[in-house]
Amino acid sequence: MRVVWTNEALERLIEIEGFIAQDSPQRAERFVDYLIKQGESISKNPNIGRIVPEISNPDIRELIAKKYRIVYRVKKSIIEILTVFEGHRLLRIDEIEME
């Protein structure tokens, strides 16, 4: 399956990189690359992530990558990465596009 990153998810990656880059630009770049690789790896097994507890929709799942949550939606032919955020936070519904 093909992985597609939403604008929301890409904006969150930029924010994460910007925050970490305040201390170490190289570490920020490596970490965002790691998050992207984790998101892309979902294509091999779309059901690897757990169902997001805040939503309880079996099509919306999340993969935990270090201390971050990569939230994605499984569709017929694609996987949409909806958002990425720190794992200690709860998912806000307004952060993702619900269809």
Q: Which residues contact 98 (CB under 8 A, 6 or more apart)?
A: none
CATH number reported for the structural domain that contains residue 20 in this entry: 3.30.2310.20
Write the pLDDT tens digit of every residue in 76-92: 889 999 999 987 776 76
Domain range for 28 is 2-95
Dihedral sign, CA of 22, 23, 28, 31?
negative
Q: Which of 8-12, 63-67, 73-77, 93-97 comes out lowest in average pLDDT?
A: 93-97
Tally of domains in the chain: 1
The pLDDT value recorded for residue 74 is 93
Dihedral sign, CA of 24, 31, 73, 89?
negative
Write the pLDDT tens digit of every residue in 35-62: 999 999 999 999 999 999 888 889 999 9
pTM of the model: 0.89
Q: Which residues contact 16 (CB under 8 A, 6 or more apart)?
A: 28, 31, 32, 35, 68, 84
The pLDDT value recorded for residue 76 is 87
